[in-house]
Copies of this chain bind each other. A is one copy, B any other.
Amino acid sequence: MDPTTPQTACFEAGIKFGSLYHQFAGTPVSPDSADSLARAMEEAIENQPHCESVTVTVREDALREAIAESGADYTELTGRFIEVSMTVDYEGVVVETSMAMDEGYPLMQVDDVAAE
């Protein structure tokens, strides 16, 4: 069957998550540069269609721990260093999504689907 509007809204939300993750994974990051990277990620993805807002929080403790372990003074961005929440509005259907660590793995999920 053709997708419903809420299904398409969820598809759009997924696109934004995959984009955010795979555009920026691998970026050199340190505690000092974490804020500028988080802002760029938010504003870049907010450009995409139907994307109302993106919030990226760097898990600075996890970042400092990884850097201490490696002996370098920076590391590469991966999912365990960030938490993300995102709101997509597709034709009046508002989808709330988030990414957070779940049993050691960055889990992306739909938290809420609401028609206006």
Contacts and interface: CB of A to CB of B under 8 A. Distances in A.
A26 B22 contact: yes
A29 interface: yes
Interface in A58-103: 70-74, 76, 78, 95, 97
Given A14-B10, A14-B12, A47 B23 contact: no
Interface residues of A, number: 59
A70 B104 CA distance: 8
Contacts of A8: 10, 110
Contacts of A42: 36
A88 B1 CA distance: 15
Interface string A1-44: 11110111011111111111111111111101100110111111
Interface of A: 1-4, 6-8, 10-30, 32-33, 36-37, 39-48, 70-74, 76, 78, 95, 97, 104-105, 108-110, 112-114
Q: Closest 3 CB pairs between A and B?
A: A14-B14, A18-B18, A25-B26
27 contacts: A2-B112, A3-B10, A3-B110, A3-B113, A4-B113, A7-B113, A8-B110, A11-B109, A14-B18, A15-B15, A17-B18, A19-B19, A22-B22, A25-B76, A26-B26, A27-B40, A27-B44, A28-B44, A33-B43, A33-B44, A33-B46, A36-B39, A36-B44, A40-B40, A47-B73, A71-B104, A72-B105
